[in-house]
Amino acid sequence: MTTEVRRAVFSLGSNLGDRLAILQGAVDAIVAMPGLTVVAVSEVFETDPVGGPQQPDYLNAVLVADTALSAGALLERAHGVEQQFARVRSERWGPRTLDIDIVALGDLVIEQPDLVVPHPRAFERAFVLLPWSEVDPAAVLPGSGTVADAVAALDVRGVRRRRDIFLTLAPVEPRPAR
């Protein structure tokens, strides 16, 4: 029996602590997960918080991977990575060290108490769609249309590309001193 490989899209966000180090740590942890082949990671965007209490700005990115893992297994692993970075779930849309959302998993549509795929608010969130459109311009969010069309219709104020910082898919080797 073969299991279908699907494209998984993860949204990563952090607004507490060393945000960039936390996002890079999350990327490293996802890259190391058995059963996932990471395809791309987006540039980093700094974004105003959406909803919730007053809080610091976020750093956000999108990671795309191919996997035959189930949605439940991906959610469990994403929560495990969040726990590695001391994620606390005390306030809806509150500040957090790390937030990992499964935005999409191929063309699957899942509605369970603990998991909804595609992510129910992804199509209205510029901090998800801008980075996703960069790494997969032809992407489609099941039931909602193309990511590119959604980006064109969004208000992207409050979402700023950070060209001065970046995430890598492989450990960066130190350069020898000259």
Q: Catalytic site residue 163?
A: no
Q: Catalytic site residue 157?
A: no
Residue among 6, 77, 101, 125 flagged as catalytic: 101
Residue among 6, 77, 99, 136 flagged as catalytic: 99
Cα 21–Cα 48–Cα 59 angle in degrees, nearest 5 = 15
Residue among 96, 121, 162, 164 flagged as catalytic: 96
β strands within the chain, DSSP E: 6-14, 36-41, 45-47, 58-67, 99-105, 110-112, 115-117, 140-141, 145-146, 159-161
Token couple for 76: 């469990």
Q: Catalytic site residue 7?
A: no
Q: Catalytic site residue 162?
A: no
Token couple for 124: 């209205």
Please list the active-site residues. 87, 96, 99, 101
